């Protein structure tokens, strides 16, 4: 989804958001730093395969996905990280690694790390490596209807 399409979708849904431009950055932690956003509010999108089907995992920038936890949460028999070659055709309108966490638009299941739901705001890449969108987590949840699960190895740190 090109950034203008993402903004049009949010506008159509009457979502209040802000768009933040920043220097080109590639990691969620670096983007959070450049945009002066707490790392736990910066959501990173990871594409996985659950039983061969592409799915989206969304978690706070400082956290790391635990594939065993995801496998248990989804009931899948096989879960692995998807390669860029496997998922980029689905995101031809985005720069590699800058996919917004709207799997519903890309016909993908979305799994959100439980710790991310504690934040009032969520920020995420907006199809490029130099712009992000910040909006209320409640609005994100209403639009995407993600499955909220514990999937982070850093979960204990996020809840401390």
What CATH number should be reported for the domain holding residue 95?
3.90.960.10
- Asked if residues 16 and 8 have their Cβ atoms less than 8 Å apart, the reply is no
Dihedral (CA of 39, 117, 154, 48) sign: negative
pLDDT tens string 112-141: 999 999 889 999 988 888 889 999 999 999
Q: What pLDDT score was predicted for residue 159?
A: 43
Residue 31: inside a domain: yes
Nearest-angstrom CA–CA distance, 46 and 153: 14
Tell me which residues of the chain have a pLDDT lower than 70. 1-4, 154-160
Nearest-angstrom CA–CA distance, 152 and 22: 27
Range of 59's domain? 3-152
Q: What pLDDT score was predicted for residue 2?
A: 53
pTM, two decimal places: 0.88
Residue 93: inside a domain: yes
Structure tokens at 106: 């890309």
Nearest-angstrom CA–CA distance, 9 and 136: 15
Residue 157: inside a domain: no
Domain count, the chain: 1
């Amino acid at each position: 989804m090109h950034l203008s399409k993402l903004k049009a979708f949010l506008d159509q849904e009457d979502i209040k958001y802000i768009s933040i431009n920043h220097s080109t950055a590639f990691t969620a932690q670096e983007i959070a730093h450049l945009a002066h956003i707490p790392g736990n509010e910066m959501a990173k999108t990871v594409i996985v395969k659950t039983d061969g089907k592409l799915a989206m995992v969304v978690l706070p920038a400082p956290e790391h996905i635990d594939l065993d936890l995801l496998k248990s949460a989804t009931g899948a028999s096989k879960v692995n990280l998807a390669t860029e070659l496997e998922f980029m055709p689905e995101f031809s309108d985005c720069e590699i690694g800058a996919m917004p966490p709207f799997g519903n638009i890309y016909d993908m299941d979305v799994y959100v790390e439980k710790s991310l739901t504690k934040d009032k705001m969520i920020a995420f890449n907006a199809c490029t490596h130099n712009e992000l969108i910040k909006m209320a987590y409640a609005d994100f949840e209403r639009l995407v209807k993600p499955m909220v699960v514990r999937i982070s190895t850093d979960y204990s740190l996020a809840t401390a």
